[in-house]
């Protein structure tokens, strides 16, 4: 059974940095691209970026790329999203997802990030 | 403003058929495959349709997808109360070099 298990909720002050994780099980970690997607309160889904766990190659959403870093640790089948210079409008639920069929097939349970001013 | 345009809401009575449109452009829907997701509050999104028309194992055949040119559509036939949720379309955009989502459509079962 494929499982994506994310780290717990975070509360941060504006201007600080957060790092959230997503641990994968149930398939070969390097087989599928991994994505981060977020949903701000009352808003739709927004793609943040993705990583190829096999070689670490990343693509980020253009408007976020100056503040985010996605990494993968193949020794523990885990990806990370680090976001810096946090702002209150970064408050959102962040989801990791794996791409097995050209789509986001499997999803984590979500991590709530709350940023206060 | 989302790159992909969806109606904010659709509604129907139990047993009815409803359809959700997703309008894009040549750089996204016109050049890549569309997927659809069901999202219930407090839960992770669920893949409903991939490769425009394919259903993952476990997704009821009441859900169907189609694509023509720069638009796609998700149909739900035999609407059930458990289908009340938000639905999002998504595709890779070559111009933006990133994945894009529609703004989402809330389905209400009357």
Q: What is the pLDDT of residues B68-108, one digit of tens each?
A: 999 999 999 999 999 999 999 999 999 999 999 999 999 99
At residue B41 the predicted structure's pLDDT band, cuts being 50, 70 and 90, is: confident
Q: What is the pLDDT of residues A22-66, one digit of tens each?
A: 999 999 999 999 999 999 999 999 999 999 999 999 999 999 999
B1 pLDDT above the threshold of 80: no
Whether B2 has a pLDDT exceeding 90, the answer reads no
Contact A47 B88 (CB under 8 A): no
Cross-chain Cβ contact A45/B39 below 8 Å: yes
State whether A47 and B98 contact (CB < 8 Å).
yes
B18-38 per-residue burial string, b: 16 or more CB within 10 A, e: under 16: bebbbbbbebbbeebbbbbbb
Contacts of A45 in chain B (CB under 8 A): 37, 39, 45, 88, 90, 101, 104
For residue B81, give the nearest of B102, B94, B62, B101 by alpha carbon.
B62
Which of A61, A95, A102 lies nearest to residue B44, judging by beta carbons?
Answer: A95
Query: Going along chain B, which residue ranges are E strands?
Result: 9-12, 18-23, 35-39, 46-49, 63-68, 71-76, 85-93, 98-101, 105-109
Contact predicate B48/B40, CB 8 Å: no
Q: What is the DSSP string of A19-74?
A: EEEEEEESS-GGGSEEEEEEE-TT--EEEEEEE-TTT--EEE-TTTTTTEEEEEET
Residue B65 has pLDDT above 90, yes or no: yes
Spell out which chain A residues touch chain B, with contact meaning CB-CB distance below 8 angstroms. Answer: 35, 37, 44-47, 49-50, 59-62, 95, 97, 101-110
**DSSP for A95-114?**
EEEEESSSSEEEE---EEEE
Residues of B in contact with A95 (CB under 8 A): 44-45
Dist. CA A58–CA A55, nearest whole Å: 9
The number of C-beta contacts closer than 8 angstroms across A and B is: 65
CB B30 within 8 A of CB B71: no
Length of chain B: 110
pLDDT tier, A86 (very low <50, low <70, confident <90, very high otherwise)? very high
Min CA distance, A97 vs chain B (Å)? 9
Residue A88 near residue A69, CB atoms below 8 Å: no
Residue B30 has pLDDT above 90, yes or no: yes
Q: State CA A91 to chain mean position distance.
A: 14
Ramachandran bin of B69, using left for φ above 0, alpha for ψ from -120 to 50, beta for the remaining angles: left
Which of A69-73, B13-17, B41-45, B66-70 is least confident? Answer: B41-45
């Amino acid at each position: 059974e494929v499982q994506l298990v994310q780290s717990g909720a975070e509360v941060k002050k504006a201007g600080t940095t957060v790092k959230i994780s997503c641990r994968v099980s149930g398939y070969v970690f390097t087989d599928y691209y991994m994505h981060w997607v977020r949903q701000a309160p009352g808003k739709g889904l927004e793609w943040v970026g993705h990583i190829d766990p096999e070689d670490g190659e990343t693509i980020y959403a253009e408007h976020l790329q100056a503040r985010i870093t996605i990494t993968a640790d193949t020794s523990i089948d885990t990806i990370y999203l680090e976001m810096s210079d946090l702002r209150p409008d970064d408050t959102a639920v962040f989801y990791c997802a794996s791409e097995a069929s050209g789509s986001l097939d499997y999803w984590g349970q979500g991590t709530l990030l709350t940023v206060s001013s | 403003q989302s790159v992909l345009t969806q109606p904010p809401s659709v509604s129907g009575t139990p047993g009815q058929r409803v359809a959700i449109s997703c309008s894009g452009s040549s750089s996204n829907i016109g050049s890549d495959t569309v997927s659809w997701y069901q999202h219930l509050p407090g839960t992770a999104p669920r893949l409903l349709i991939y490769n425009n028309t394919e259903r993952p194992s476990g997704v009821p055949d009441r859900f169907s997808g189609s694509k023509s040119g720069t638009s796609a559509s998700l149909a739900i036939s035999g609407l059930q109360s458990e289908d009340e949720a938000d639905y999002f379309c998504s595709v890779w955009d070559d111009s933006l070099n990133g994945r894009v989502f529609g703004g989402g459509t809330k389905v209400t079962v009357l």
